[in-house]
Structure 1
Amino acid sequence: MSKENSQSLNKGSFLWRFSKKFQFAAENVIPDPLVFCLILTIIVFFAGAIFTDTGVIGMLNSWFNGIWSQIAFAFQMSFMVVTCSVTAKSKQVKKLLRSMARLVSTPTAAIILLMVFGYVSSFLNWAFGTIVTPILAMELTKNIKRLHFPMLVAAGYSTMCLGQCLGPSASVYALLAGSDHFLVDKIGVLTQNITTYNSMNVIIWFIVALGTIILTIKAEPPVNEIVEFDGTNTDDLEIEEIEKSSSIKTFADKMNGSRIIMYLIGIAGVINIVYTIIQKGFLGSLSLNFVIFIFLTANFILYATPEKFVKSYRDNLSLATDVMIQFPFYGGISGMMIDSGLGQIIVGGFTSIATAHTLPVFSYLSASLLNLFIPSQGGQFIVQGEIITDAALKLNANLPHVINAFVYGDEATNLLQPLYVIPALSVVGMKLKDVWGYMAFIWLFWFIATILGLLIVPLFV
Structure 2
Amino acid sequence: MLNRIAQPLSKVVERYLPDPFVFVILLTLIVLGCAVLWTPMTPISALQAWGDGFWNLLAFAMQMVLILISGHMLANTPFCSKLLDKLASKATSAAAAIVMVTLVAMLASWINWGFGLVVGVLFAKALARRVAVDYRLLVASSYSGFIVWHGGLSGSVPLTIATLGHFAEQWTGVIEASSTLFAPFNLAIIVTLFIVMPILNLALLPKPQQRVIVDPRQLTAPPLATATPTTPAEQLEHSRMLGTLIGLVGLSYLGYYFIFLAGALNLNIVIALFLFLAITLHQTPARLLASLQTAIQGASGIVIQFPFYAGIMAVMVKSGLAADIANAFIAISSAESLPFWSFISAGLINIMVPSGGGQWAVQAPIVLPAAEALGADLPRVAMAVAWGDAWTNLIQPFWALPVLAIAGLRAKDIMGFCVLQLCVSGIVIAACLTWVA
Give the alignment's TM-score, normalised by structure 2: 0.95
Runs of 4+ in 1 over 4 A off after TM superposition: 233-237
**1:438 and 2:417 equivalent?**
yes
Shift of 1:280: 5.3
Quote the residue 2:193 is aligned against.
Answer: 208
**1:380 and 2:359 equivalent?**
yes
**1:36 and 2:15 equivalent?**
no
Q: Which runs of 5+ in 1 are unaligned?
A: 1-13
CA–CA distance in structure 2, aligned partners of residues 307 and 220 of structure 1 = 41
Q: Name the stretch that deviates more: 33-42 or 117-126.
A: 117-126
The correspondence for 2:150, drawn from 159, 164, 178, is 164
Quote the residue 1:10 is aligned against.
Answer: none
Secondary structure, counterpart of 1:178 in structure 2: coil
Deviations 1:135-180 (A, max 9, x none): 11122222233x2221121111111222332x12100000000111
CA–CA distance in structure 2, aligned partners of residues 311 and 163 of structure 1 = 28
Aligned length: 437
The correspondence for 1:367, drawn from 339, 346, 352, is 346
Shift of 1:387: 0.7
Larger Rg: 1
CA–CA distance in structure 1, aligned partners of residues 432 and 274 of structure 2 = 35
**1:125 and 2:106 equivalent?**
no
Q: Name the stretch that deviates more: 171-180 or 200-209.
A: 200-209
Amino acid at match of 1:163: W
Amino acid at match of 2:312: I
CA–CA distance in structure 2, aligned partners of residues 129 and 85 of structure 1 = 9
**1:252 and 2:233 equivalent?**
yes
Quote the residue 2:55 is aligned against.
Answer: 68
Quote the residue 1:262 is aligned against.
Answer: 243
2:21–2:305 Cα contact (<8 Å) kept: yes
CA–CA distance in structure 2, aligned partners of residues 204 and 315 of structure 1 = 34
1:98–1:139 Cα contact (<8 Å) kept: yes
Deviations 1:158-213 (A, max 9, x none): 11222332x12100000000111112122211001101221122223322331111
Deviations 1:323-359 (A, max 9, x none): 1110111000001111111111111111011111111
CA–CA distance in structure 1, aligned partners of residues 51 and 15 of structure 2 = 32
Amino acid at match of 1:449: V
Residue correspondence of structure 1 range 44-443 to structure 2 within 5 A: 44-145=31-132, 147-165=133-151, 167-232=152-217, 238-239=223-224, 242-243=225-226, 245-248=227-230, 250-279=231-260, 281=262, 285-443=264-422
Instruction: Name the Cα RMSD after superposition.
Output: 1.8
Shift of 1:231: 4.2
Secondary structure, counterpart of 2:177 in structure 1: coil
Q: Does the C-alpha gap of structure 1 residues 286 and 229 become closer, same or farther in structure 2, counting only changes over 3 Å?
A: farther
CA–CA distance in structure 2, aligned partners of residues 22 and 226 of structure 1 = 16
2:171–2:372 Cα contact (<8 Å) kept: no
Shift of 1:293: 1.0
Deviations 1:208-254 (A, max 9, x none): 33111111112231111112232436876532xx42x4342x32232
Shift of 1:107: 3.1
Deviations 1:360-406 (A, max 9, x none): 11101110110011100110011101211111111111222212221
2:130–2:216 Cα contact (<8 Å) kept: no
Deviations 1:74-124 (A, max 9, x none): 122112212211221222211111111122323333333222211221122
Q: Does the C-alpha gap of structure 1 residues 366 and 280 become closer, same or farther in structure 2, counting only changes over 3 Å?
A: farther
Secondary structure, counterpart of 2:81 in structure 1: helix
Amino acid at match of 1:179: L
Secondary structure, counterpart of 1:238 in structure 2: coil
CA–CA distance in structure 2, aligned partners of residues 235 and 454 of structure 1 = 42
Q: Which runs of 5+ in 2 are unaligned?
A: none
Quote the residue 1:8 is aligned against.
Answer: none
CA–CA distance in structure 2, aligned partners of residues 347 and 279 of structure 1 = 42
1:19–1:219 Cα contact (<8 Å) kept: yes
1:53–1:340 Cα contact (<8 Å) kept: yes
1:168–1:192 Cα contact (<8 Å) kept: no
CA–CA distance in structure 1, aligned partners of residues 280 and 427 of structure 2 = 45
Secondary structure, counterpart of 1:406 in structure 2: helix
Secondary structure, counterpart of 1:104 in structure 2: coil
Amino acid at match of 1:80: I
CA–CA distance in structure 2, aligned partners of residues 208 and 237 of structure 1 = 35
Q: Name the stretch that deviates more: 436-445 or 169-178.
A: 436-445
Secondary structure, counterpart of 1:392 in structure 2: helix
Secondary structure, counterpart of 2:400 in structure 1: helix
